[in-house]
Structure 1
């Protein structure tokens, strides 16, 4: 019974992460940390290559997570997108509150009771890294780069996108929008265009294996630095999600949705494994 419940929890967390990461501005990595599954995901990916004893266990865990993530993309992302189209301000403020709801847990994971000068420097460094990344994205948008096509181009785009997929605070959906791949990928998923999705998928998989090993080693060896820099990522990502100040009747509605998002994700973060 416990195994069944644990499997269901992994699938549901995967569905939430898969569904929400398709919302531009929302980071799948941040959601994975908030849901208490980020460390386990990194460990499972690395165990497939480096730990024979845990290889089968890790594969089963990743299959459960991918089932949930796939269901989230196919079943949850569309309703979220429709709600975002119908009620853009309240829904975006819900996600703003949701991301903010994970901040206390991320700080707790750093192991710091009081924020020292070094801790503030780590947070500032994380903010600076993401600000530079965002600036580069905006320059790429302004340059009006052409559509990425061809097996090699899509493969490289997949490798690059894997960083946005794994690193907290970076929205893979927004990143794909910058690359001009967001709508083509959604169309390819709907039509099951394997020739388009295959090189992207291969690039993402190889990128995930390469990046996750570095991240896991960093987070194990320097947890305070890692989580405080991630906190900096998340603080900057709040501005990326921010839809602006609501007006009129939307003011109380947005306050309610923001508080609801914060409370829900804060509660979920306290239920982590």
Structure 2
């Protein structure tokens, strides 16, 4: 359990990110260097794992599924979601621009770092552009509204978890699009066990199915999929842009949210603009600082 503190901390960060619409827990896993280990560990829950449990016992099974890693990460995520759900809801309600600015800086620096690790070839740029278009298009989808039934909760969990595991695509944002974000957050804050269990069952089902496809893509088309994921990270910046304006540009009754330059909106005083820029800079500094420390530790 020597890795517990570091993996637990990553879990806390992933849980906090998953609660915030526009931020993905997969992004945190990606930029903290555990993404592929996470995918492979989840993928290990298969028939082979059942055979290992039957033939070798619990210890062999635990090793097969990378149990220490998953337990440490899972505890961090659960701790974060349960303890931060109320706080994150408060911050999102009263300081949405500020928290978006911080994550904007984090994701911008992270996408720069990941891009520089890619093999330099023409295909990299093409898949990068595909990723940017995909993520930016997600942000243009208008929210829907469904009745909060057990089936709707289950399916919402299955769909949202696929987004949560992808860097750059926010599972919470997908829940917003489905009209399920508020019911799920309310259930977590009030400890509505039945709603949480149904939603979690959907998440588990979707995760076990989707992660196999993702693992295959990472093995068979590694450079392409990593380039695409980097593009998704960059494209997600449109969701994280701190300065937004609500309006109806097409005459419909549905309000739309558009990104604007800070000086084009009367909603943001100079002090708020300065604070957002400072938080963006802090996000950039955190990632570049981590990169610098990591490079100093590597042997020459």
Q: TM-score, normalised to structure 1's length?
A: 0.86
* Structure 2 partner of 1:123: 128
Matches of 2:61 and 2:230, distance apart in 1: 31
2:102 to 94, 97, 116: 94
What are the superposed Cα offsets for residues 42-90 of structure 1, whole Å, 9 maximum, x if unpaired?
A: 0111122245487413223211111000111122344344344443333
1:46 to 43, 48, 53: 43
Compare relative contact order (CA 8 Å, sep 6+) and give the higher one, 1 or 2: 1
* Structure 1 partner of 2:84: 76
Unaligned runs of 5+ in 2: 244-261, 263-267, 296-300
Q: Is contact 1:35-1:269 (8 Å) kept? A: no
Q: Is contact 1:19-1:72 (8 Å) kept? A: yes
Higher helix fraction (1 or 2): 1
* Structure 1 partner of 2:279: 257
Higher mean displacement: 46-55 or 154-163: 46-55
Counterparts in 2 of 1:221-260, with a 5 A limit?
A: 221-244=220-243, 245=262, 247-260=269-282
* Structure 1 partner of 2:182: 183
Asked if 1:29 corresponds to 2:10, the answer is no
Q: Is contact 2:103-2:283 (8 Å) kept? A: yes
Matches of 1:81 and 1:98, distance apart in 2: 20
Q: Name which one, 1 or 2, has greater alpha-carbon Rg.
A: 2
* Structure 2 partner of 1:195: 194
Distance 1:146 1:36, change over 3 A: same
Unaligned runs of 5+ in 1: none
